[in-house]
Structure 1
């Protein structure tokens, strides 16, 4: 087996808490896949919210977490353009999970992947100050 053909996806296997009663758990750990394979990264959640929004983020080496996609329990989808072709997730209300599937894995997919219940990166606009 040629080690050069393997692709390592590092998955953060920790729990992110939004509120005391909201938790997200990623149990996948490190994932090794061959180029062009498909992989699925696990994420389960627990919340008192009856219609939670779930988010996947990617963090490349030496980079910041970047929002990839959002999924709602009502089926609403929002995916950042650069991830639309090969990345997808769906909310399974029965198992309280939102697994991320990556089609045709590439070496450039090597990163840390995070699952969250609510946005963890917030943008806020502040108008410029004017001197009078």
Structure 2
């Protein structure tokens, strides 16, 4: 799968951090035991830049044969295990938790993750 890299800049120092946010755009579609689905995810851009404390949105298109289930967003730093961020049940259009907002456009198979206040550690 492909992912976007989020670069966050501080006002006093410009850091283009290449620590890959592998799973910011890696949306996992949960599946039921015994079923197999062919899902795909494509980020709208490969890199996003933002000033520290500004909001930033990561957007992806997806394909799935699963009409139910949920969208899971994770973050993973190099040499670290994935960290769960937020869950959106596919019957809902939006979900908010801990400074993250997920917006789901089911008609166009788009999903957006908004980070309300970007930090250097988000890179």
Q: What TM bracket, shorter-length normalisation?
A: 0.5 to 0.7
CA deviations on 1:29-66 (whole Å, 9 max, x unpaired) are: 12221011111111211112112311111012431111
Q: What residue in structure 2 maps to residue 33 of structure 1?
A: 50
Q: What residue in structure 2 maps to residue 75 of structure 1?
A: 92
Is the 1:86–1:103 contact (alpha carbons within 8 Å) kept by the matching residues of 2? yes
Q: What residue in structure 2 maps to residue 109 of structure 1?
A: 122
Note the C-alpha offset of 1:96.
0.6
- What TM-score results when the alignment is normalised by the length of structure 1? 0.62
- Unpaired stretches in structure 2, ≥5 consecutive residues: 1-10
The runs of at least 4 aligned residues of structure 1 exceeding 6 Å deviation read 13-18, 76-79
* CA distance 1:33–1:6, shift in 2 (3 Å): farther
CA distance in 2, matches of 1:90, 1:15: 13
CA distance in 1, matches of 2:49, 2:55: 11
Alignment: residue pair count: 106
CA deviations on 1:63-102 (whole Å, 9 max, x unpaired) are: 11111111122118777xxxx2311112210111211100
SS of residue paired to 1:49 = coil
Note the C-alpha offset of 1:8.
4.6
- Over the aligned positions, Cα root-mean-square deviation in angstroms equals 3.4
Is the 1:70–1:77 contact (alpha carbons within 8 Å) kept by the matching residues of 2? no
Is the 2:27–2:71 contact (alpha carbons within 8 Å) kept by the matching residues of 1? no
Q: What residue in structure 2 maps to residue 122 of structure 1?
A: none
Residue 94 in 1 paired to residue 94 in 2? no
Note the C-alpha offset of 1:26.
2.1
Name which of 46, 53, 65 aligns with 2:70: 53
